Amino acid sequence: MKKYLALLLTLSLLCGLLAACRTQPPAPETAERWVNDGEPTTIKILTERFMWGESPSIVLENKASHLLGSLGRIIDYFEHEHPNVTVEVEYVTIAPSTRETEMQARRVALMGGDVPDIYLMPTLSDGMFYEGRDMENGEYPFVFRDPAQAMTNGWFADVAPYYNGDEELHTEGLVPGVMEAGVLDGQRLILPLGYDMELMFLDKKEMEASGLDREALGTYGGAIGHVLGLDDPRWTTGMNFYGMQLNLLPPLCDYKTESPLLKEEEAVQFLKTVRSLSDEVNEYYQDYFDRHPDVQSIGVPYLSSYLGGEKKDVFSPELPALDVPLRRAVDVLAICKAQGFETEVLPVRDVDGKLSANVTYWGAVSSGSKNIPLAYEFLRLFLTPEVQWGGTLTCQDGTTFKTGFLGKLSGSEELHITPGWPVRSQGAVEARWEKIYQEAKRYERNALVLADKAPPRITDLLAVEVTDEDLPFLAEGVDRARFPSVADLWFDRLSSTVLYPGLKAQPLTDQEIAGKTKEFLRELRYHLAEG
């Protein structure tokens, strides 16, 4: 009797195991886009309230998010076009106090099969580092701690058949190097929607006077060496980058073999370079603030502040260099031109001279979605010019839905729905400049109501123009793009101890740098093996 019972139990177990199993059918080269059959359907999106450059605490403090309004309008557009489709949005909780607990519950739900149709996610950004540093455990938990790793774990559906056949999308206008970041073994699993990289803004006149050689700035190490060799510490201030420092190193790891590619000596050499630079920069800034006690802060000017009347020159003889993220390049360049500066804009290349970018925002169709064609149909909207450049979506019946922020410049300068620089880079400079121009015209109109003429800062801005020729490297594309992950947070913690040794007030020794690098690589090996 017992033997028969055991046999029955084993058979039931096997049946249960195999019941829900099926082999994955091979994906076609192209597939038909979704056709509305009129049946009521719902698609679900899982997303965050914050985005690149707008950290959770800012969103919490302001009780508002630049992302939400635009996402709402895109959903309204889609539902208006397809009245039988309902788009539901689930926001991951934002409050740090409850986020970890709720994240655990959400992960369990994902494991249990409660997956959305679409993931729409920001990546770790500059703002997140401050968030991470404030957290007790040092990490603000994301749904996907490492999107590139998640691609290898079967979370996302392959949308290549739809993407490849989507002629209306004009995918040739998207930056290939960035879009490739979402491809794994020929499968298009993630659609990057925005990206960013660091740029050096240099006062051309001062550059020529000081003998700074443009060609010598072709690699990160070379640039630092050249600048330090000039014995002119003013230029170091334009190379003091925070945040995405892993972009400046060779590729970090191979997710398929689960092994780090970054060698210990490469990381140590990089950090020693950072240490040499930070010594100079910290000393120079200390001296600068001693000589200018009235100056509260220095940094990249905001366009809204400039239009609002802030009198601050982009460059000065003492500060002829700035590091500016790509997403703000057009704004800052416009101010430079309006203030009469001739500016050299150079992308910061990694230690091997490659142009490396990081994805700031991405979307993916869940592999567990029951309606992949419909989910792709919604997601592709984020790659259209109207959404990428903050324009207007027009329905077939003529109803319009404006994306972006209703034409107004926000405090964080994010005019586009997709944070970062648009992956639809061809035409982005022109689109961005058009927005700036229209906004400056609005300021001019307001000023003329109160006075006979507009302030010079407005007229100066309206007299200039920013075009693709001002950012020629954009035509090059990028050599590689990566998804920031928890590894970036760990490396930032490591490099910030080099940049800011803290109360010790002594730079870290070579031995300390080597020890901390070993620790970082150890954490990375664990992360790769466990993910």
Partner 1 sequence: MKKSKSALQGWLLVSPLLIGCLLFYAIPFVLVMQYSLSTGSGSALYFVGFINYQDVASNGMFTLAFGNTMRFLAAALPLIMVLAYAIALLMQKQANKHKLLKSVFLFPYIMPVVGAVILVELLFAESGVLPALTNALGLPLTDWLGGPAAFGVVLLLYLWKNTGYSVILLLAGLVTIPEEQYSAADLDGASGWQKFYYITTPQMWYSVFFALIFSLINAFKCFREIFLIGGTHPNENIYMLQHFLNNSFENLNYAKLSVASVLLLIVVLAVFAVFYGFVRKKEAFRG
State in angstroms the smallest separation of the CB of 153 from partner 1.
5
Quick one: 170 or 522, whose CB is closer to partner 1? 522
Quick one: 257 or 396, whose CB is closer to partner 1? 257
User: Would you put residue 134 in left (φ > 0), alpha (ψ -120 to 50) or beta?
Assistant: alpha
State in angstroms the smallest separation of the CB of 488 from partner 1.
15
Question: Which residues, including other chains, have CB under 8 Å from residue 437's CB and lie 6 or more apart?
Answer: 462
**Distance between CA atoms of residues 332 and 353, nearest Å:** 25
Half-sphere exposure of 8 (CA within 13 A, CB side): 5
State in angstroms the smallest separation of the CB of 528 from partner 1.
9
State in angstroms the smallest separation of the CB of 447 from partner 1.
53
Quick one: 5 or 17, whose CB is closer to partner 1? 17
Quick one: 9 or 95, whose CB is closer to partner 1? 9
Cross-strand bridge partners of residue 202: 321, 344
**Distance between CA atoms of residues 201 and 331, nearest Å:** 12
State in angstroms the smallest separation of the CB of 160 from partner 1.
16
Half-sphere exposure of 104 (CA within 13 A, CB side): 3
**Distance between CA atoms of residues 430 and 445, nearest Å:** 22
Decide if 411 contacts 59 (C-beta within 8 A): no
Q: Which of 66, 71, 35 is nearest to 373 (CA)?
A: 35
State in angstroms the smallest separation of the CB of 527 from partner 1.
7
Question: Which residues, including other chains, have CB under 8 Å from residue 54's CB and lie 6 or more apart?
Answer: 65, 66, 67, 127, 412, 414, 419
State in angstroms the smallest separation of the CB of 518 from partner 1.
12
**Distance between CA atoms of residues 194 and 419, nearest Å:** 6
Quick one: 326 or 379, whose CB is closer to partner 1? 379
Quick one: 170 or 370, whose CB is closer to partner 1? 370
E strand segments, 154-234? 183-184, 187-188, 191-196, 198-203
**Distance between CA atoms of residues 32 and 164, nearest Å:** 10
**Distance between CA atoms of residues 344 and 329, nearest Å:** 12
Quick one: 273 or 369, whose CB is closer to partner 1? 369
Quick one: 10 or 392, whose CB is closer to partner 1? 10
State in angstroms the smallest separation of the CB of 17 from partner 1.
5
Quick one: 357 or 528, whose CB is closer to partner 1? 528
E strand segments, 366-451? 392-394, 400-402, 421-422
Place of tokens 């997601």: 379
State in angstroms the smallest separation of the CB of 113 from partner 1.
5
Quick one: 324 or 379, whose CB is closer to partner 1? 379
Quick one: 263 or 522, whose CB is closer to partner 1? 522
Quick one: 133 or 441, whose CB is closer to partner 1? 133
**Distance between CA atoms of residues 202 and 205, nearest Å:** 9
State in angstroms the smallest separation of the CB of 180 from partner 1.
23
State in angstroms the smallest separation of the CB of 19 from partner 1.
9
Quick one: 263 or 370, whose CB is closer to partner 1? 370
State in angstroms the smallest separation of the CB of 154 from partner 1.
4
**Distance between CA atoms of residues 154 and 333, nearest Å:** 42
Residues that bind partner 1 (CB under 8 A): 13, 16-18, 20-24, 107, 110-111, 113-115, 141, 143-146, 149-150, 153-155, 157, 258, 366-370, 522-523, 525-527, 529-531
State in angstroms the smallest separation of the CB of 50 from partner 1.
20
CA 341 vs CA 329, 348, 466: distances in Å: 14, 21, 13
- What are the start-end ranges of the H helices in 171-317? 176-179, 204-210, 220-230, 264-291, 303-307
Angle at 508 between CA 216 and CA 490, to 5 degrees: 80
CB count in 10 Å sphere of residue 44: 17
**Token digits for 313?**
């020159």
Fill in the DSSP letter of residue 53.
Answer: T
